[in-house]
Every structure is written in structure tokens, then in C-alpha cells.
Amino acid sequence: MVAQRHLTGDGGPDQESQHFVVAFPGHHRPWATWIARRLEAHGHRVTSHRWDPDRDQALEDALGDLLLARGRVLLVLSDWFFQLGPRREGDWNDVLRGFVAANADRFAAVNLTNRALLPATAVLEPVDLWGIGEQEAERRLLVRLSLEPSAPRTDAVPSPSRYPSDPPAVWGEVPRRNARFTGREDLLNRVQESLTDVEPGASVCALVGMSGIGKTQLAAEYAHRFSPDYDVVWWVNSDQRGTQRDRYGELAPALGLRSGSEPGERIRAVRDALRRGDPHSRWLVIFDGWEDVEEAAAILPRGGTGHVLITSRNHGWRTVGDVVEVPVFRRAESTGYLMRRAPHITAAEADAVAVEFQDLPLQMAHAAALLGELRMPVPEYLDKVHSGEINPLDEVSELGDYPSSSLTSWSMLFNRVRESEPRALELLKLCACFAPGRIPIGLVRGVAPGELPEQLRWIADNTPDWPRALDTLANYSVITKDSRSASVSEGREAGPRQESVHMHRVVHGIVSRLTAGDDREIHRGVVRQVLVGSDPGDPSDSRSWPRYAEILPQLEFSGALESTHARTVQLVLGCLRYCYMSGEYTVGMDLARRVRDKWVDLFAPDSEYMLELAARTTVILRASGRFHEAYDRDSSVLELLLAQPEPDPIRLMAANSGLSSDLRFLGRYPEAYRLQRDVVDVGRELLGADEWTTLRAQHQMGVALRLLGQFDKAYEIDLDTLRKREAVLRARHPDTLHSVNACARDLRLLGRYHDALARQELGVRTQIQVLGELHPQTLWAQHNLVLCRRRAGTKGEDIGPLMADLLARHERVYGKGHHNNLMLVTDYGNYLRVHGDLGQARDLLTEAEDTYRALVGQAHPVPTGMQSNVGLLMQAEGNRDGALVLFEQALTGLRTLLGDDHPWTLGCALNAAGGRNLTGRLEEAAELSRETLRRTRAALGDDHPMTLSSQTALAADLRALQQREEADKVEEDALQKLTRTMGAQHQHTLSARQRVRPYWDFEPYLG
């Protein structure tokens, strides 16, 4: 047991181990922790005690309770300390001069502020720790407590916390600390316990509650209060997906990580660094206002020793981590907050205000601001609220959480601002015409004064009115200033155009309600003007995506969706194109729906804008897997065009090309090819063979040929398209790189594995440089590269980890049910089946088969062919009879859908022959193998890998029938061709030589 000694009246030190009670307000927990660590390092015992006595308890009794413990009491003082309760200054001075002075030998203090303390604190002889370094602070602490420095204890555990005045190595956009933050101590402690009292690995805690409950303030206070426990603290505004991804990705350069500029690539680098704890293992990432739980798997770090804190209204975060419910203030917290900000009111009056506003923190903040500013008597204030004499308002559904009296209180606040700072109210009206959340208000300052309405021209002038208006709104808690002054991702210099503010969605709803009709359309016109001026103009350029992500949420609130102005319409269509190019399909479909709802009353169905909207909508529908809807839309557009007296041939060409794409996805391959071939012919005649629109149509014709199984013709078309695109566009243009991918896929399907691998490796490197690692086109190229490596049979290369990593990236970008993701799920499942992980293979293949069937129906080549993959899995599990049933079903189905000579049909025939052999149906197996060999030679050529697999299978079936002479002859010919075309050490050659029965993996491809 550590020795203790009660100090005598003269305060003389005893250098044996002593005991100290460190009493601190929760606001100063980091300092209390540091003090305790330093005293413990010198061999003393410390009890830390968060001290916030109830207002109803006498101060003398509360301080007397601290003396019940042995040893000295060290008070951690600041101006915040004397607001505890809150209590009158006279009460504090009385107890300091009386009770504390009588027990001066038991009390000591440190001072953490540069402001003047109460006069009577002199009795505590507080030592100043404000604004000095750690070594000097420790020296002063020891001197004040009459302690001699001692050698550090050898058994002392190193402190995980920094000196409180030293900031973390990385500190990103955490809101300024709220000096008026009140209470919530139990919640803060629960959050800390939730994040720290868990098994090793990244901890996730979500603060969940309704709007205006104080979740953001609570998270910000946690970040400040516990910042010494972290080396990285990063704040991510998550109201909008694009903004969240952009901001989260900016952590990459802050950590010194090498990555590209594309948000997805940066996020991947950040997640990996946080998981590894390199360069920092103690990190805290806060996602403020994150509602989409389904995005968690794509954003949250997987592992690591850091912490994730989320604020949200969505209780679904229980499936991801711990949830801490944030309630309204306790009544003592409400009254304490009101009395600190409006010292003239009594506890009973504060209680009456709290009752009126139901202890909602956001309403407490605004009531306190108004009462404190005006020093209005509470009875008068409540009379005005009850009577609604200023602007009586009914409750509206979007503000259903709040009583109507709260709207009246806001109206009073606005009137106060109108009288004291009218330009601040103009600025507030303008903010209400942006979307809630982060508002890029600084963009308005880039508009020439002459182009702004007269009442807003002051914004563009470099006058003090701008900062004064912002400060006024921030002081009333209507907005918060965004600490970011420049977009790191775009590398811009800090300046007025990069200024932004943040407005809570509840506040935004109230402001919009109370300012409706006050020049609303004028302000919305300004916002539209700003947005049009910020349009990057090229949604296909990934470098412009952060700007589009910033513009997109502003469209509806600014009235852009209702505008008929040509540049505004083009901006809306550009945002739709951005959604498609960036893979934001869900956002795109929602935007397309809202645009159509507005435009149907503004434009004729066959107008240029409506037809362009339909075209961009169907592209997103197809990309989202809604193939039947896309087909119906494209059919309707085509009917509208054909009904015109003189339809635009270029638009007609585009409509037919879209319809051809729909037919491909629906499995109607011959129709799709015929229609696309006609489109190409029209393009060559009208525009020329080298024009980019014609080349895009020709690229789609290559896809149609590939789906017909005509790989040689597809390669011929794709190679011609590639060469022309390199000449007409450029080698690094996204369309050119798309042709690189197509040629590499064709080469692989033709069995030219090494040629395919060489071309795709170069293509992937270039696409990562140009588009970023998580661009959909890059992911497609990486998928094909993995398959090229597998088919090329590179010795000693295990592609399993590559496929697993690629699948994780696919799921982040597309989601599990997307058809592009399902292709990789299938290929990875087939790989795992071969390499012995049958359980995971079954999970993946079953998931893919079921989802494909839900997407396109059973009478489609892809889900039909998927049965063959499941049959191979059942065969590997020992269920040969069940496997054969699926092989036969797949073969019959594909013969009906695609014909006998399609490569997919022939592959299913190869597997069905193997299934017949293994179940003892030897004659039938040999018969099918002989027929399959004949058809593969005709369709694919004598040296194609599938032809040689069919030949090897026939040899096995003949041998099973004891027809050894023919079997040996067939086998020897196959081995010679395999050695010549693939090499003696290729896995296919080695397997054939070892007489391993060949099989065929179905690779689903929708087009």
C-alpha cells in the first residue's frame, strides 16, 4: 500500500508518497489527466474527481465533501470553473473567504486562463499554467505543491496522452470549441467508454438523436476534450455523399500519403493507413450528419486502433457499432445554460423557458442568445412567444419536432437582426436559397457587383460589412463558420471565394419558412447565377467531380430544376452526366426523377431538353441494373422521334443506339447487333467513319459481336475503333482507354492470353493515372487483368488476394447487387472452388445466381449459364447427380436461347459431358464430347483453348470406354497443340498431360 501522510498546518512537505484529489470541471479533463500522470510519475497517488455540484447544494457543503478524502485537494481553475452551477460571483467569493481560507492547508489550485479570476481566489494561490510549455508547467506544479522532483518510476506506464496545450499532429476542420457548452458529462463519458472499452480494432460509436438535439456540439466537445489522447483528429461533414467523400479523402495528403486526386483512391489510401496505424495509430475520425448506414462498409476503416465517432438521426447504426442515444437537455442543463448566457434571469425563470421549448438544445441556444442580448425580462419574452404577436406561425410538417412557439422565438430573433444588422438578414436569406449543410457562400463574392441585385452588391465589395454579417449570424448560432478556407482537393489558394458556412437542416427549414416571400426569387436567381458560373463543363473529367458534388445538392433549393434558362438547363443535365460518370447511380436516379417532375410542365415531351433528359436517364437506369425500365424509356423516346415530321437523324441514331444497349442487357443479342450495325452505317454516312459519335457506336457494335460469341469479328472492330480513337482523340482519352479494355478482353476470349495480358497491364496503369483507381472503367480493366493473369497461368502467382481486394473495391463503388460487382463475385467464387474454399465459393455463387435471376429473369442467357457454375461447385462437393442436373439444364437453356454453336453453349456442353462421365453415362458422355469438339473447331478454330479442352475431354471419354487407340491419338494431338500454343509449363498443358478432366467456368457478361 502506498504510504500517505496528512499535511500539517504549516504545509511542510513530506517526500514520502502523498495523495492528491484533483477536482476539475469536465471541460478540463485533459488537464486533470495530465496533472494526475505527472504526479503519479513522481511517485504520488492521485484521485481525479470531476466536480459539478448541484445548484441546490450549498458551496461550502460541496467543497467540504472534497475534504472527506485524505490529502490535498487541487482545484483546476478557469473562468469556466466558476460557472459551475451556475452560481453568483458573490456566493463564490463568500465561500473562498470563509470555508476555503479556514482550510487553506488542504486546498491548492492551478489556473488555466489568462482572464482575471474572482478576487477571493487569491487564497488558493493558484499557479498559472496558461500559455507555457510542458516542462515549465510541470516545474510550477511541483513547486506549488511543495514537492521535490524525483527520478521517474521504473514501473510507471508511459502516458498515452499529450500535454494539453500541444495540438495533435493532424487536426482537421473540427468546429471551434463552444465556450458555452453545458452539461452532457454522462454522455461524454459514455462515448469514451464506448470507444475505449472494446476489443482491439477500430471502434465505432454513433451519437443518434433528432435534429437540433446537440449531436454535433457533443461530438465537437468530445474532439476537443479528448484531443490529447489522439495524434489525428479529422472532422468530415457528411450531409452529402459527395462532400463526405471529398472531405474524407483530404485526410490522405494531411497524413502524407501518396495517392491520386480522385476521392475514391484517396479514401482507399486513408482506410489502409488507418488500419495499419501508419503514420499514426491514435486517430479519431468524426463523421457529422451521416445518415446512410449502407455506405459504412465503403467508408469506415477496417481494423486499426483508432476511433470513429458518427452523428446521425439514423438508429440503423446499431448494426455497425455502439449507439449512444442523445436526449434533450436534462432540466438542470437547460436552466444552467440559460443562466450562464443570460445572468439576469432567475432559476425559476430559466425553468419556465426550458418548459416552453421542451429542453431542446438548439432552442435553448436561441432563446439564451435573445434573452442575453436584449436583457428582456422573461415574463415579457414568454408573453411575446405565447401571443405570437410578431409573426404567428402554424406548425409545418418539416418542423414537426418543435412547438409553434419556437418558430415565434425565431421570428423575434430575425426582427432583432433586422434592426441591428440588416445586411446580416440579407445574407441569411441568401443562405436559405442554398441547400442545408455546407454552403459555399464565398462563391457569391466572385460575381461582379454590377451583376448582383442592388441589395446584395455589398457582398462583392471588399467592405467590413461581410465579416460583420457573418459574425452576427454565427453569434446567434444561425450558422457556423467553416474553418476550411480552400479546397485542398482542388489545390486552390485560400481566398474569399472559398469561404463557406454551415447551416443545420433544422435551422435551414425555419429560416426558409420565416423568410418566404422576402425577395426569395431574387436570391434564388443569384444562387443559380453562381452555380452556372461554377459549372466545370466536363462531367467526364474526374478532376471536376468535387465541384459537381458541391453543386448538385444546391439545384433544388436554388430553383435550378424549375429554370428554363439554357445555361441552367445544361448545368442540370451536366449534373446528371456527372452522376453516371462518377458511379453515383442512386443519386442520379433521384435527380432524374425530380428534374422530370419539374420539366414535364415546362417543356414539350418531344423537345430537345426532354429528349436529352430521357437519354441521360436511361444511361443511369442501365448502369443501375434497371434494364426493363431503360428499354421502355428508350422505346418511348424512339416513338416520339419517329412521330416527328422530320426527326433529327443524329438524335434518332443516338436513340437507336440506346435501344440496342437495352436489348443486349436483356439478352436479345441478335436484335441488338442488327440495330447497332444499322446505327454504325448511319453514322458513317452522316458523320464519317472517324467521327467520335460514329466511333462510339462502333464500339457498341463490338460489344454486340462479343455477346454473339463472334470474338474474332469483335476484335477486328475493336482494334479498328482503337486505332481511329488514338488518331482522332488521344491515346489517354477515356474513350480510347475503353477501346484498350475491349481489345484486351477480345484477345483473352480468343485464347491469346499473353497478348491480352500485355495489353491490359499497360491499359490498367494508364487508366489509374488518368481516371483514378476507383473509376468504374478502371475497375473493369482491373477485373479483366486479373482474369488475364489467371488464364495466362503465370507460375507461382496467387491471384486470390488480388481478387479479394478488387471485390472489396467493387462493393464500395457499386454495391453488392450491381451487375458489375456480380461478374467479379462469380469469377472469385469460381476461383475459390478450384482452390478448395468450397464454403465461401458456394456463398458467392449462390448470391450471384439469385441476384442475376432477380435482375433479368430466368429466361436470360446469364442466369441460365450460372447454373453450370453451381453444378461445378456441387460436383466438387461430391454431389455428382445434382451437378449433372444443373449441367443439362444450362445446356438445354443456352441451346434454346443462343443456339448450339455459341461459345457459352459449347462450354456448358463440355461440363455436361464431364458430368455424364462421372455418373457412369459413358456412351452419352463420349457422344456429347465428340459433338462439342466438332462444333468448337468450327466456331473457334482448331487451336482455341476451348477446342483443346473439348479434345482432351473426348480422349478421357474414349479411354473410359476402353477405346484406347483412338483416345491416345486424340490426346497426343491435343497435347502437341497445347504445348505449341500455350507452352509446356502452362497449367492447361500440365493438367492435360496429368489427365485432369477439363472444365469451363461461365463468365457472366451483360454488356
The more confident residue out of 358 and 785 is 785
What pLDDT, on the 0 to 100 scale, is given for residue 159? Answer: 55
| Nearest of 470, 476, 391 to residue 426 by alpha carbon | 470
What pLDDT, on the 0 to 100 scale, is given for residue 965? Answer: 94
**pLDDT exceeds 60 at position 419:** yes
Average pLDDT over residues 612-619: 93
Average pLDDT over residues 605-618: 92
Task: Give me the percent of the chain exceeding a pLDDT of 70.
Answer: 91
pLDDT averaged over the chain?
86
- Looking at residue 14, its amino acid is D
At 530, the pLDDT band (50, 70, 90 cuts) reads very high
pLDDT digits (tens, 9 = 90+) for 531-558: 999 999 888 776 788 889 889 999 999 9
Paired strand residues for 235? 286
What pLDDT, on the 0 to 100 scale, is given for residue 15? Answer: 54
pLDDT digits (tens, 9 = 90+) for 727-781: 998 888 888 999 999 999 999 999 999 999 999 999 999 998 888 888 888 999 9
203: cell is: 471502434
What pLDDT, on the 0 to 100 scale, is given for residue 117? Answer: 80
Q: How far is CA 986 from CA 514, 617, 656, 795, 830, in A?
A: 75, 47, 44, 8, 19
Residue boundaries of the structural domains of the chain = 19-144, 170-325, 331-420, 421-558, 793-993
Is the preceding omega at residue 279 within 30 degrees of 0, hence cis?
A: yes
Average pLDDT over residues 436-462: 87
Which of 73-87, 576-590, 622-636 has the highest average model confidence (pLDDT)? 622-636
pLDDT digits (tens, 9 = 90+) for 496-509: 567 888 887 777 88
What pLDDT, on the 0 to 100 scale, is given for residue 831? Answer: 95
Where is average pLDDT lowest: 782-786, 818-822, 889-893, 1001-1005? 818-822
**pLDDT exceeds 50 at position 395:** no
pLDDT digits (tens, 9 = 90+) for 258-303: 877 778 888 989 999 999 888 988 899 999 988 888 888 889 988 8
pLDDT digits (tens, 9 = 90+) for 117-139: 888 888 888 888 877 878 888 88
List, in sequence order, the alpha helices (H) in 261-358: 263-276, 296-299, 331-341, 347-356
CATH number belonging to the domain at 19-144, selected among 3.40.50.10140, 3.40.605.10, 3.40.50.880, 1.10.287.610? 3.40.50.10140
β 480-481/127-128 pair status: unpaired
Supply the pTM of this predicted model.
Answer: 0.66
| Nearest of 885, 896, 873 to residue 1002 by alpha carbon | 873
Average pLDDT over residues 35-57: 85
pLDDT digits (tens, 9 = 90+) for 203-243: 899 998 876 778 888 999 999 888 888 899 999 988 788 88
At 154, the pLDDT band (50, 70, 90 cuts) reads very low
| Nearest of 464, 117, 120, 180 to residue 334 by alpha carbon | 180
What pLDDT, on the 0 to 100 scale, is given for residue 518? Answer: 65
- Looking at residue 808, its amino acid is A
What pLDDT, on the 0 to 100 scale, is given for residue 202? Answer: 67
159: cell is: 502516458
793-993 falls under which CATH superfamily?
Answer: Tetratricopeptide repeat domain (1.25.40.10)
Where is average pLDDT lowest: 17-31, 251-265, 401-415? 401-415
CATH number belonging to the domain at 170-325, selected among 3.40.605.10, 3.40.50.300, 3.90.1150.10, 2.102.10.10? 3.40.50.300
C-alpha torsion angle, residues 405, 406, 412, 414 (rounded to 10): -150
At 786, the pLDDT band (50, 70, 90 cuts) reads very high
**pLDDT exceeds 90 at position 849:** yes
600: cell is: 414535364
At 402, the pLDDT band (50, 70, 90 cuts) reads very low
- Looking at residue 294, its amino acid is E
What pLDDT, on the 0 to 100 scale, is given for residue 387? Answer: 67
What pLDDT, on the 0 to 100 scale, is given for residue 392? Answer: 28
Q: Where are the beta strands (DSSP E) in 61-144?
A: 72-77, 107-111, 127-128
β 480-481/501-503 pair status: antiparallel
Cβ-based neighbours of 612, under 8 Å, separated by 6 or more? 573
What pLDDT, on the 0 to 100 scale, is given for residue 492? Answer: 42
* Cβ 205 vs Cβ 195: under 8 Å: yes
Per-residue DSSP letters for 330-387? PHHHHHHHHHHH-TTS-HHHHHHHHHHTTT-HHHHHHHHHHHHHH---HHHHHHHHHH
**pLDDT exceeds 90 at position 996:** yes
Q: What sign does the CA torsion over 890, 896, 897, 902 have?
A: positive
What pLDDT, on the 0 to 100 scale, is given for residue 614? Answer: 93
Query: Do the domains spanning 19-144 and 170-325 agree at the CATH topology level?
Result: yes
pLDDT digits (tens, 9 = 90+) for 672-718: 999 999 999 999 999 999 998 999 999 999 999 999 999 999 999 99
Rounded to the nearest 5°, which phi and psi values hold at 821? -70, -35
Average pLDDT over residues 557-578: 95
Average pLDDT over residues 55-71: 84
Is the preceding omega at residue 453 within 30 degrees of 0, hence cis?
A: no
610: cell is: 426532354
pLDDT digits (tens, 9 = 90+) for 885-899: 999 999 999 999 999
| Nearest of 773, 764, 775, 294 to residue 582 by alpha carbon | 775
Q: Where are the beta strands (DSSP E) in 822-935?
A: none
What pLDDT, on the 0 to 100 scale, is given for residue 393? Answer: 36
* Cβ 24 vs Cβ 32: under 8 Å: yes
The residue behind cell 460469341 is 709
At 398, the pLDDT band (50, 70, 90 cuts) reads very low
- Topology at the third CATH level for domain 421-558: Arc Repressor Mutant, subunit A (1.10.10)
* Cβ 894 vs Cβ 864: under 8 Å: yes
